[in-house]
Chains A and B, each alone.
Chain A
Amino acid sequence: MPSIEDALEEVTRTDIEIEAALDPAEPDGVFRDSRECTGLALQSGGGHLLLSPPTPRPKKG
């Protein structure tokens, strides 16, 4: 049978997990490339959402 300490530890761990899930950091983004944007524009038949050029990515090196 689990001890009171074990039970308290479990509750504390669960509360930490809950808070992390409720206040998540923004994940790193994976940006779309121009070909995909064009494909979406053709597929959607006139949507405007992704017709603009892709967001510049930081240059490597």
Chain B
Amino acid sequence: MEQSSTSALLQGTVLDLASDVVSALRSGDHARAGGTLARDGAGGNIARAAVRVLGADTLLPTALLRVPPDPGRLAVFKDAVTAHPPRADAAPAVVWSHWAMARALRRLDEPLPGPLAGDGDTEPDAAWLEDAGWQSLTHQLAVLAPLALPGEECAVTRVARRRPVDVARGFVRAVRRRDWQQAAGAGRWLTLLDGVPDTLGLDTGLDFVRLMGGSDPRVALQLEAARLMPAGVLL
């Protein structure tokens, strides 16, 4: 199927944005993830959409390295939260992704923009994840990897904490399926969970994922997060 120009542009911008975050995580310098995103015009629309897709991980250097966010990037982040709220019938992953972005702003003590200003920290429902099989659980957790942060407390992290062996099984499955993005996301979660079997060989597995899939910035982002996770301090 032919890809629309919007889709191609959006995907490319997401990859560029992920690359910026990876650079910032590797260098420890938020300036590497600087405010190169447009805010106005068509470029601004794509930038906001790309930030919405990358989600709370756009501000990951701030969460893990305690560096202040670049003001330009923070402004686009707020715009993205406001411009792309989940629809009433949106899938749980879409709703949780938006919640994670709002949570990232709250963690920075940033006032929530526009219609979100009156919202509390009310969590979306996580029932769909409670009963998920281990394959689906791992897929969903990998999609929601921006929630895998030290000290994060929400319904999704509580489900993950209860099922370390299932996530470990899902990690191995993802590696064997060569689904590097899912493997990297699951690996990021596993660095946070207690009760992960030693026989998993997580470090070796993550090295292998880096070797095979690390050229994709979205994979590299998850791997950098996993690398920093044990030392990460949430603001």
Contacts and interface: CB of A to CB of B under 8 A. Distances in A.
A39 B7 CA distance: 38
Interface string A37-51: 000100010011110
Interface of B: 4, 6-7, 10-11, 14, 45-46, 49, 52-53, 55, 84, 87, 90-91, 93-94, 97, 135, 139, 143, 172-173, 175-179, 182, 199-205, 207-208
Interface residues of A, number: 26
Contacts of B201: 44, 47-49
Q: What DSSP secondary structure best describes chain B's contact surface?
A: helix
Contact of A13 (B4, B52, B139): B4
B53 A10 contact: no
Interface in A5-61: 10-11, 13-15, 17-19, 21-24, 26-27, 29-32, 40, 44, 47-50, 54-55
Given A18-B49, A22-B143, A44-B201, A50 B178 contact: no
A23 B93 CA distance: 6
Interface of A: 10-11, 13-15, 17-19, 21-24, 26-27, 29-32, 40, 44, 47-50, 54-55
Given A40-B208, A44-B208, A19 B176 contact: no
A28 B106 CA distance: 37
Given A23-B91, A49-B204, A17 B176 contact: no
